[in-house]
A and B are shown apart, each in its own frame.
Chain A
Amino acid sequence: MEIKDIENLAKLSRIELSDDEKKELLGEMDSILGFVEQIQKVETGENVSEAGDLVNVMRSDEDTHESGVFTDDILAEVPKVENGFVKVKKIL
């Protein structure tokens, strides 16, 4: 792994890193990957999916709550709010 790999990964994970931390992480990644590398020694064969009977685990919408009962609590935790909306920067 090289510094530019760390930079790419940081960008993919949306995390800003200082130059010092990139260097530090590079060393740590090598050490951690060196440790987990041991699994390559084991012969495992193919990954065979063993899912049993598939069931839908999604909840149905039958227990709906009265509209607005949670709004104030939730909006109180939002960093930026305007007229009851969550405010974010321009997307496009």
Chain B
Amino acid sequence: MKIDLENLTIKKAHEAMKNGGFSARELAQAYLNNIDKDLNAFIVVFDDVLEQADEADKRFKDGTAELLTGIPIAVKNNILIKGKKTTAGSKILENYKATYDATVIKRLKEKGVVFIGGTNLDEFAMGSSTENSAFGVTKNPHDKTRVPGGSSGGSAVAVASNYALVALGSETGGSIRQPASFCGVVGLKSTYGAVSRYGAAALGSSLDQISPLGKNIEDVEIVFDCIKGEDKMDSTSIPDKIYKEAEKDVNENKKIIGIPRHFLKEGIDKEVLENFENSVNKFKELGYKIKEIELPNIEYSLAIYYILMPSEASTNLARYDGMRFGFLKEGENLLGDYMKTKGEGFGKEVRRRIILGTYVLSAGYYDAYYNKAQVLRKMIRKEILKAFENVDAIITPTTPTPAFKIGERTKDPVQMYLADIFTVPANITNIPAISIPSGFVNMDGKELPLGLQIMTPHMQEKLLFKISREVLS
């Protein structure tokens, strides 16, 4: 029997598995059969997918199945699943098998989901194109000569191409929303602290968040509701009582959208702006009020990000020392072991960011770069909070261009970094943001997806989902 994967949702799949339309095993098999290796979305497809599905089928038989039971999920390969190869896209973890489950994985396992595999990513989530993976580039399903975005490129392709129903990604500066936009799917970046990062390979700890990608808002919301919540293993996770309190403020009648037009002037494709105006008109038709807002320092977000993130990365990645886990290349002495292990184990972009982070944190430069960036980060946060006193949500295009060609930006790091110009502000201010499909643009005879970004105040994902649902309706 043929399952219509293209139009499947979590609720539809659940109903079908409950009513005998198809089994979890048949569903998992349908996704496995669909995987096109040429796109290179997965670093590893798990060898026990059907066994996991059989366990889910048992739960449907004994009546303990829940909404997520048997739902096939792809997981970015920087999130630990016990016993499974977890590489973070790096040679330094090429043969590493996770020794414990990340909190998000533990929560999904309790529901009985089926993990399809670990998806490709830029090494340690450092990149905007998935070209920095030690396991080869992932290709965009809409045009195989183009990148899928990154760093969660494999997860975005897995959802867009029906290799899994939903996927987990991770964000530090747009790593879910940007590939979601390039691949035409929905990608969430939740409030910093909404989801525990315990068990995710750390990049920038003041920015990192795990969140879901899916084909529609409902699926993304279901997965988010499962993985979110306080976790004693991540001291930055927000206590449930604080979250509940904040959610009380969500007013169903919030209808004012802010647009920082001064931020949308430089470096944006004409087609992207036209597409954005179509979205603005859609909001108007739906009865939303549009207000122009000023965020005076938001244009510095990307520069701030490229100071803070490498600083945090250079610290976080010190742990890959060839002693306790991962790759070891021996030198003449202990120092030689470190030098060779990191020199050969880390790829180019990772080495670049560690060196950059080490520089901006070094004596004499710390105040001019790191401290200055911290102060500016706070200023921008205040500006955004002030803007939210007058508007309920802020919108921008997710990215300034559609997916670019493979190899086009690899020689110029700053050009690559500019792909995240609109997504980074939500990370440095810790607010939730989402990218939803907003149509297509024709480039070289191929239809390439574009995305609309919506941002709301801290802990207001519910409002984000509600607005997104209305715009997509």
Contacts and interface: CB of A to CB of B under 8 A. Distances in A.
Contacts of B374: 47
A45 to B, nearest CB: 7
Nearest to A12: B358
Q: Pick from B100, B232, B321, B375 the residue with the most CB of A within 10 Å.
A: B375
Given A70-B99, A77-B325, A25 B352 contact: yes
A25 B353 CA distance: 10
Interface string B312-329: 001000100111111110
B205 interface: no
A54 interface: no
Interface string A9-39: 1101111110001000100110111011111
Interface in A36-53: 36-40, 42, 44-47, 50
A35 B300 CA distance: 10
Interface centre among A6, A10, A13, A76 (most CB of B within 10 A): A13
A7 B378 CA distance: 34
Contact of B235 (A21, A32, A57): A57
Contacts of A80: 328
Interface string B335-353: 1011110111010100110
Chain B interface size range: 35 or more
A90 to B, nearest CB: 7
A42 B297 CA distance: 8
Nearest 9 interchain pairs by C-beta: A16-B343, A57-B235, A79-B328, A16-B339, A77-B325, A14-B338, A89-B334, A44-B375, A36-B303
Q: Give the interface residue-count category, chain A.
A: 35 or more
A70 B324 CA distance: 14
B342 A32 contact: no
Given A47-B371, A88-B334, A42 B300 contact: yes
Contacts of A31: 412-414
Given A39-B376, A74-B325, A77-B96, 18 more contacts: A6-B355, A9-B362, A13-B314, A14-B318, A15-B351, A16-B343, A29-B359, A39-B300, A39-B303, A39-B373, A50-B378, A59-B235, A70-B99, A78-B325, A79-B326, A86-B324, A89-B337, A90-B334
Contacts of B297: 42
Interface in A49-73: 50, 57-59, 70, 73
Given A12-B358, A44-B372, A35 B414 contact: yes
A36 B306 contact: yes
At the interface, is chain B mostly helix, strand, loop or mixed? helix
A10 B335 CA distance: 12
A13 B374 CA distance: 23
Contacts of B348: 21
B372 A73 contact: no
Contacts of A46: 375
A75 to B, nearest CB: 10
Contact of A29 (B100, B355, B369, B378): B355
Given A36-B369, A59-B232, A77-B325, A42 B376 contact: yes
A15 B303 contact: no
15 contacts: A1-B359, A14-B335, A14-B342, A16-B343, A17-B343, A28-B352, A36-B304, A36-B306, A37-B303, A40-B372, A42-B297, A44-B375, A46-B375, A79-B328, A90-B334
B39 to A, nearest CB: 29
B242 interface: no
Interface string B285-305: 000000000000100100110
Interface of B: 96-97, 99-100, 232-233, 235, 297, 300, 303-304, 306-307, 314, 318, 321-328, 333-335, 337-340, 342-344, 346, 348, 351-352, 354-356, 358-359, 362, 368-369, 371-376, 378-379, 412-414, 417
A46 to B, nearest CB: 8
Given A29-B355, A77-B97, A88 B414 contact: no
A85 B385 CA distance: 52
B359 to A, nearest CB: 6
Given A13-B342, A16-B342, A86 B414 contact: no
B369 A15 contact: no
B377 to A, nearest CB: 10
Contacts of B333: 89-90
Nearest to B339: A16
A32 B300 contact: no
Contacts of A5: 359
B354 A29 contact: no
A41 B90 CA distance: 37
A45 B65 CA distance: 57
Contact of A40 (B96, B97, B368): B368
A86 B339 contact: no
B413 A28 contact: yes
Contacts of A6: 355
A34 B338 CA distance: 30
Contacts of A38: 300, 303
A76 B326 CA distance: 10
A17 B354 CA distance: 12
